[in-house]
Amino acid sequence: MKNSIGINKDKSNELSNQLNILLADYQLFYQNVRGLHWNIKGREFFELHLKFEEYYDNAVIKIDEIAERILTLEGEPLHTFTDYLKVSEIKEQKGVTNGVDGVKIIIDNYKVLILKERKILSLAAEANDEGTVSLMSDYITETEKTLWMLNSYLK
């Protein structure tokens, strides 16, 4: 049985479930980076304050795209922090003011996100879901470059 966009319903449900977990992780990532943006102190303040804003602005776009993809697959996106906290691998960060520590947190969060994006990419390819494949492929390419840059910053 296929859904309205021609994807097997069972595979579509599994993709929606995995996308909901990714959505939860992006919500926690967004909040972590937002907190870092607000609370960062020190010599790198101006540089990192702007960079963190760039990251959370980008995350908000992805959050919306992921939720809309879930809806396209005929799923229901999670939309409460109670639900996000239950399924997110990314944990809340609090009270971080040091720039290097903040960058390390962002790197760790991106590592979680990219692993989940790769898993979803594989599932989507198996389901012949080009829309999700394209979305995850774009995210992975961007995240790889961001991780390279963040790791270079720490050297």
| Residue range 8-66, pLDDT digits in tens | 999 999 999 999 999 999 999 999 999 999 999 999 999 999 999 999 999 999 999 99
**pLDDT grade, residue 2 (50/70/90)?**
very high
Domain assignment of residue 4, yes or no: no
pLDDT at residue 146, rounded to an integer: 98
User: What's the distance, CA 5 to chain centroid?
Assistant: 24
147: enclosing H helix or E strand: helix 130-154
Task: For residue 143, give its domain range.
Answer: 9-154
pLDDT at residue 40, rounded to an integer: 97
Domain assignment of residue 2, yes or no: no
Hey, what amino acid is at 54? Answer: E
Q: What's the total number of domains in the chain? A: 1
Domain assignment of residue 120, yes or no: yes
pLDDT at residue 71, rounded to an integer: 98
Output the domain CATH number for residue 92.
1.20.1260.10
Domain assignment of residue 57, yes or no: yes
pLDDT at residue 148, rounded to an integer: 98
Domain assignment of residue 64, yes or no: yes
pLDDT at residue 29, rounded to an integer: 98
Look at the block and give the residue holding tokens 């540089």.
47
pLDDT at residue 41, rounded to an integer: 97
**pLDDT grade, residue 7 (50/70/90)?**
very high
Please provide the average confidence, as pLDDT, over all residues in the chain: 98
| Residue range 65-76, pLDDT digits in tens | 999 999 999 999
CB 132 within 8 A of CB 73: yes
101: enclosing H helix or E strand: helix 99-126
Is the overall model pTM greater than 0.95, yes or no?
yes
- Report the 10 Å Cβ neighbour count for 153: 15
